[in-house]
Structure 1
């Protein structure tokens, strides 16, 4: 990763301070799915052409069970604010196809995006092996930075509670939508975008 990304520009020495915070005025807009919703992971995977980023334990579990390890998976051990069951935990943490795999650990409290999470996302996408980012806190908002950091044509898959899996393809339209939402967050938007689009 670029050396400048690692510098602590805020001077307080605490990288886990929120870089961006979700304002209450945006919460309702993020409830609508950003792409088509699918309940069958096999059918969803037929539409995947390129890198695959999974946001959430249950989504990651279903993709692994369908035989496709995400290139980058973000998990936090919870679903709908409840601890995931033992089977999901076992599969997302232990069951990987043969080949290289890396685990990164970051802190990211609910309703915020920290610099370590954004950096881990960028690093995960740059690595040739599959990467699991284990989040201490909450990974839900990672969908938006993933849409900016992932290459054109990549697939972002995340869970829509009690509905299914949302499949968003990275293109100019979905990038613009994600960027427009992030620009309305509280915090250092310019710094966050520089990390993701740099």
Structure 2
């Protein structure tokens, strides 16, 4: 008899959620292009469900040049107008404009710190925060770390980077491990956090 794996309950709504939960969510990211991808996706999600964005992820990948901040930073007004006609993404002018603006700000951080990765991980002292959540009810929408990150990004001119959005980014990119303790991925991600953390 096959024993079903215990997972965080939020991911059980549809198969794409489960795949994302099992393979990506909470795994420490040290790749700038992936960080930029999640900045775009999390910003696009504001006010919507994550499932909506996951379903359009491939569309975003094509529209936003494989999440290359150099290319996105050069998007012209004409290019933005064409993007806003594309049903493969959420056609919200403020969010699309924010993505182009954030690409420019992203490049500025890379120039200042050497990489966006070095910058963002400094908000958790360069190692993942491994939480001990018993249930989804214990997971906050924001933390002091996401508050600080959000405040600094806003000061640098980023858009759609409120503390809630940035805490979602921190969860997705493994700066925090918010899998509940009885989820089978909790220990796996915790051990990954030790091996993938940069010295």
Under a length normalisation based on structure 1, what TM-score does the superposition of the two structures give?
A: 0.26
Between Structure 1 and Structure 2, whose CA radius of gyration is higher?
A: 2
Q: Could you say which structure has the higher helix fraction?
A: 2
Under a length normalisation based on structure 2, what TM-score does the superposition of the two structures give?
A: 0.26
Q: Could you say which structure has the higher strand fraction?
A: 1
